[in-house]
Amino acid sequence: MLRIQSISVAFVLSACAFESRAAEISVPDDFAKIQAAVNAANPGDLIVVRAGVYRESLTLKPGITLRSFGNDSQGKLGLARAEATLIEGGGAPAKSAGVTMAEGAILDGFTVANFGRYDEAEWKRHHATRGNDQPYEHIGAPGIAGVSIMGVNCEVRNNLVHHNGYTGIAITGAEGKTCSPLIVSNVCHRNMAGGIGSMNGSTATIRSNICFENFFAGIGHENASPLVEGNRCFQNIRAGIGISEGASPKVISNICYENRRAGIGIRTGANTRPTLERNDCHDNGMAGIGVDQNAQPVIRENRCFRNRLAGIGVRDHALPVIVGNESFENGNSGIGLMSGRQLLVASNYCHHNKTAGIGLASGSGNSASLIGNRLLENATVAVGINPGWTVVLAENELARTGGMPPIVMVFPGAMATFTNNTIRGGGVAGIRVGGVIKVLGNRFIGTNLRKAGPPNFAVWALKGARVEMHGNQIDSWRHALFADAAEVVATGNSVTNAYVAAFRIRSPSKPPRISDNKVAGANVQELLLEK
């Protein structure tokens, strides 16, 4: 008992001794320069800096807090105290970062600006070209950051970091050490690389920051796995959030808008495997979320709307999993697939896009499963399947109220299997096919039966097509199937409210097999065969 008490007393005395050593240092009252105050400080000390312009670069010491003087009232862009307290580099070529962080240090409420050369003309030129002329550079390329975090755990909060010649806040991991700094509530803009860059194994938390008008991405990642949550990234020359070179961050509840390229851009290698959840990506100059170069993200429960191209765009053999997203009012498809093998696109809601709900571009050797999606009121088709794709469509709702295009288009050179889908609307066809399709157990619901004029067929098979239809329910289309110089098989289907004939076959490429179909309606025959 006496030994336990002695240890307790020793601990209390030690803690008291540490507390007695902690001090509050004032700049410029105690020291004219911030670095002088830092040099004099001990771990646990607080350095309070009054408003002013401090033309120096800083290297912090472990365990100290560097804070601007004042409360947390809001200024024009950030906290008023941060706007009034400037660490200024002067715009000349810099040898070191504006602020270099240390283990356990806190940087709270400063403007860090003009370290390295900011080039306004270069910024405007690349902004005008949407960054298309920028050289491909890793975000970890050498440069002098506004705030540098190299292999340490620390906090960077409430700062304004702008007009620096490189990344605003650059975070680098350390081999063999967990590096998880907290980057929160900063404003990073007009830096000549990214606003915030996380690289080389960093597992930072990047939360509630605002990043805009940066030369590359608002927040960029290379070979890092941070948590990126609740940030706002807009009007950057590249993506709002850029993810590449083996990075696997969790990107949650961010808002990315009006960026010159994608809202969130993901690329470069099968080891690039981020998880994107509940982000809003809108009004961006390319896709809301763009994936390419073999990347393998999980894209789940995001909203992508009013983007110039697709809501979610996939190319260059990327392999995303796309589940539960809403994509609407985009200038191209809700989800645009340019290439991929065994892609899973499930439970998404794509509506009111200017071309397709889901569009699959021409290619070769591509395959996808479209399961449980709602693709409604898209301007051209619910699904467009171009040559080079093998697609399974199961339990989707595919609908459009008006317009002339088919609900689904399957081009020559494509293969598709339709199982248990609901296909509803008018137009020239529910499915118009030049390729090969199997249609099994679907419901075709016509909304504007036309007995004359433009075509109005549940399935319209073009020359050279191959169609198998089994066990479908087809209501209120002029014909359940119209085929011209195609190969067709139709058995066990139920057809109601057709006109003249349920199945109309013209000049078949092989003898059609039409049998065991139930046809309801006066004066409607099962088959009209025309040579």
Q: Encode pLDDT of 100-133 as tens digits.
A: 999 999 999 999 999 998 878 887 887 777 766 6
Structure tokens at 190: 């007009």
pLDDT at residue 247, rounded to an integer: 96
Dihedral sign of CA atoms 229, 168, 212, 81 in order: positive
pLDDT at residue 175, rounded to an integer: 83
* Per-residue DSSP letter, 519: E
Q: How far apart are CA 47 and CA 66, in angstroms?
A: 5
| HSE (side-chain half, CA atoms, 13 Å) at 107 | 34
pLDDT at residue 130, rounded to an integer: 73
pLDDT at residue 179, rounded to an integer: 86
Alpha-carbon distances, residue 390 vs 310, 314, 345, 370, 511 (angstroms): 21, 16, 14, 11, 26
pTM: 0.93
Which residues in the chain show pLDDT less than 50?
1-20
Quick: pLDDT tens for 322-347.
999 999 999 999 999 999 999 999 99
Residue 168: which H helix or E strand, with range?
Answer: none
Residue 4: which H helix or E strand, with range?
Answer: helix 2-21
Structure tokens at 517: 């179909």
Q: Where are the beta strands (DSSP E) in 289-396?
A: 289-291, 298-300, 303-305, 312-314, 321-323, 326-328, 335-337, 343-346, 349-351, 358-360, 366-371, 374-376, 383-385, 389-394
Q: How many CB atoms lie within 10 A of CB 495?
A: 27
pLDDT at residue 388, rounded to an integer: 98
pLDDT at residue 521, rounded to an integer: 82
pLDDT at residue 176, rounded to an integer: 80
